Amino acid sequence: MSLTTQIKEFALDLGYSKVGIIPADSFPEYIADLTNRHEMYSFYSKGMSRPLVGAEPRSLMPTAKSIITTVYDYSQKSFPKELTDKIGRVYQARCYNAPPERINGARPQLMREFLRKIGCEVGDKITLPERLVAAKAGIITYGRNNFAYAEGIGSFIYLASFVVDKELDYDSPTVEVGCPEGCSACMKACPTQAIYEPLKLNPRRCIAFNTFLTQDHMVGSHIEPEIREKMGTKVHGCDICQEVCPRNQAKLKEILPADEFLVKVAQDFSLSQMLTMTDEFYATRIHPLMYNYIKEKKYFQRNAAIALGNLGDPAFIPNLAVAMKDPEDLVRAYAAWALGKIGGRSAKLVLEENMSRETSESVKTEIREALLKVI
């Protein structure tokens, strides 16, 4: 059996749905695109994962000959409705940057171990342009919403690639948009108009970006009020432009078995609970599932406050009043915004009471602006 066949069969046996292979050449088109849109993407291109370096795989691994790329279908089980309103499916599926001790982190580990066992040197810490790699290997096509679509599955997929030092048999590319002609449902449905033209996303307007990249150590924790209003109840990620997509309807309508783990933990993700959760609750109930981008409790609390504000239900004013006493300025500031959004006499009283004893200038500014809205 050829090396290529052995690798592909092993990957399929591991649970990947598709496998493709391309030469480990550079990706000049990706480098040009990221460089041209530097202002929007500087948080990423200058980040620790160094995607501009990874786009030239041989600069990190001079012996690199091939890239093996895989599609993992993370929507093989259903997602509870109470979670999909708040959390993107890829995060619920626990497969995004999964640690090696979890099943979705163990799979790429096993793949690497197998490749080494059959005599390959395997690259480490090479950030590849995964969508472009997969399209060049013929296992996905693009959607106008910027997501990758795998034939027979849709866009609820996770892509992972492995760089090796062996020459293999290469696949034919499908670097093309696979959408029906004239469709722009994703662009119309995006609440923030983040998809400003087909295949072009302004990440800073994207709700997903605003839920998890707005952290102090990344791009700062401020979320523009205009974006807050449009975040709805999202606290980690956003799937709207994938949910409306005709290419995902078959998958979304499929009757899938329940993910018993998600069913069990779904109740932990109530907005009011997340808003005022203790460190222990965060460490034991939220973080073990949401081990992805959000590193600190306060960002979940901020996002829960925004979501409660957007729900506009005065029943949550007591929860927000508790959050107005949180030790974190960030939580108090966004609780104030939410109270202003809900409005009414009770919200106004809570804001006035807290204004008199607030010491943080940033929180006072939010309270002042909220008071202008409740009057």
Give the footprint of ligand SF4 on this chain (CB under 6 A): 143-145, 179-180, 183-186, 190, 192, 194-195, 201, 206-208, 238, 240-241, 244-247
**Distance (Å, whole) CA 39 – CA 34:** 9
CB nearer to ligand SF4: pick between 45 and 155:
155
Residue closer to ligand SF4 (CB basis): 103 or 250: 250
- By beta-carbon proximity to ligand SF4, the closer residue of 106 and 185 is 185
Cβ 95 to ligand SF4, closest distance in Å? 17
| Minimum distance, C-beta of residue 202 to ligand SF4, in the bound complex (Å) | 9
Indicate the pairing of strand 141-142 with strand 148-149.
antiparallel
Q: Which two tokens stand for residue 222?
A: 């401020």
Q: How far is the CB of 307 from ligand SF4 (least distance, A)?
A: 14
The residues that bridge with 177 in the sheet, in sequence order, are 142
- Among candidates 293, 291, 342, 334, which has minimal Cα distance to 317? 342
C-alpha to C-alpha distance for 219 and 210, rounded to whole angstroms: 10
CB of 325 to ligand SF4, least distance (A): 32
Number of residues in the chain:
375
C-alpha distances in Å from residue 158, one per residue of 88, 101, 104: 13, 18, 10
CB of 1 to ligand SF4, least distance (A): 38
Return the percent helix, strand and coil in the chain, to nearest 5.
50, 10, 40
Cβ-in-10-Å burial (0-12, 13-18, 19+) of 3 comes to: middle
Which H or E run includes 298? helix 297-311
Least Å from the CB of residue 71 to ligand SF4: 17
User: At its nearest, how many Å lie between ligand SF4 and the CB of residue 233?
Assistant: 13
Q: How far apart are CA 227 and CA 208, in angstroms?
A: 11
Alpha-carbon dihedral angle through residues 42, 48, 52, 54, given to the nearest 10 degrees:
-160
Q: Please, what is the minimum distance in Å from the beta carbon of residue 219 to ligand SF4?
A: 15
Q: In whole angstroms, how close is the CB of 231 to ligand SF4 at the nearest point?
A: 9
- Contact (CB, 8 A) for 331 and 320: no
Give residue 268's identity as a one-letter amino acid code.
Answer: D
Which residue number, 34 or 244, has a Cβ lying nearer to ligand SF4? 244
CA dist 251 and 43 (Å) reads: 33
φ, ψ of residue 196 to 5 degrees: the values are -85, -15
CB nearer ligand SF4, residue 10 or residue 142: 142
**Amino acid occupying residue 210:** N
Contact 208, 202 (CB under 8 A): no
- Kindly tell me which of 148 and 262 has the beta carbon lying closer to ligand SF4: 148
92 SS3 class: helix
